Structure 1
């Protein structure tokens, strides 16, 4: 099913259909502030495996988790530096993914995460509305591995087809630049992927952050 999110009534119906599909372990394509995302219930191991299968990706590439509030970070991660709390309060919602040690009490299975979790709060009202209804979602780019990330819902549908239960059509992507990925699990924080948030911006919160490509 595909829903036009530019029509308020259809957006409402689409969000309810997406919520129901996710609760049944099915997959949903949704717009974000970067490229389109492929979403699954983060707490359903089978749903996450369905996501990996749909993309043609192995468990060695676990999906990040999207949240609807910066405060959710406390429930998902441990050893959160104070400067990082300040950073996400300033830059979330937005294109910044942070990798932290996950809460040991979490019972999910996102793949081979080595007890870490990658978390982001997207700056897209439709995505946030869905996540508020469902709780944290495992979300990867809406494409088959090796193909370009989908910039509109039709591209996503061409690649993923019937593997996805609900497509939320939010029009063309706001940006084709991915999120910046910041790893804070080591002794020195390091950018793993340079994206929409510059190193200079990150340095305003912590000037010891190493750029992508530098040794840890």
Structure 2
């Protein structure tokens, strides 16, 4: 990872940490941390470049061009009109990705009929191995509503930059194959594509469902 990427990742971590810390402080009795975070975002400065203005001027969200499991092109414009849950990972992920995707699927079930207003999206950061067919089969293991996206290395890199996602190929000592080290936030986008909330790794389905309901109106 280059020095510039390390600095960008550090700034993002600091910004997100500040927002989550503020959400913890202002959280009301009985209110989930995710809901408190969403409430803070509602009072944030006006969005720019398709994202919410976060501390330190970090904006999240923007243009991307990928393909779904059937090879059809998908861009950020295709997510408009409904809320979107966006998560970056890879199909060979041994722990974090299955856990987060399972939580997304459970949150969708908790929403009941209102889940029709939400589109969950999984974006692979491992284009070398994650073909459209593989991504399609993988997300089907967690929930039928999840759309899996992948693309060329350049397309994936552009999508990751838009969402300030860190990822890097790593080979653990003694391993015969590589893994992908990556950030693991889940992004909730509004109907206009703007960022409405960020769920930390390990957020519960109940937290996600509560924040989604608040943004469905």
Q: What is the TM-score of this pair, normalised by structure 1?
A: 0.24
Q: Which structure shows the bigger proportion of residues in helix conformation?
A: 2
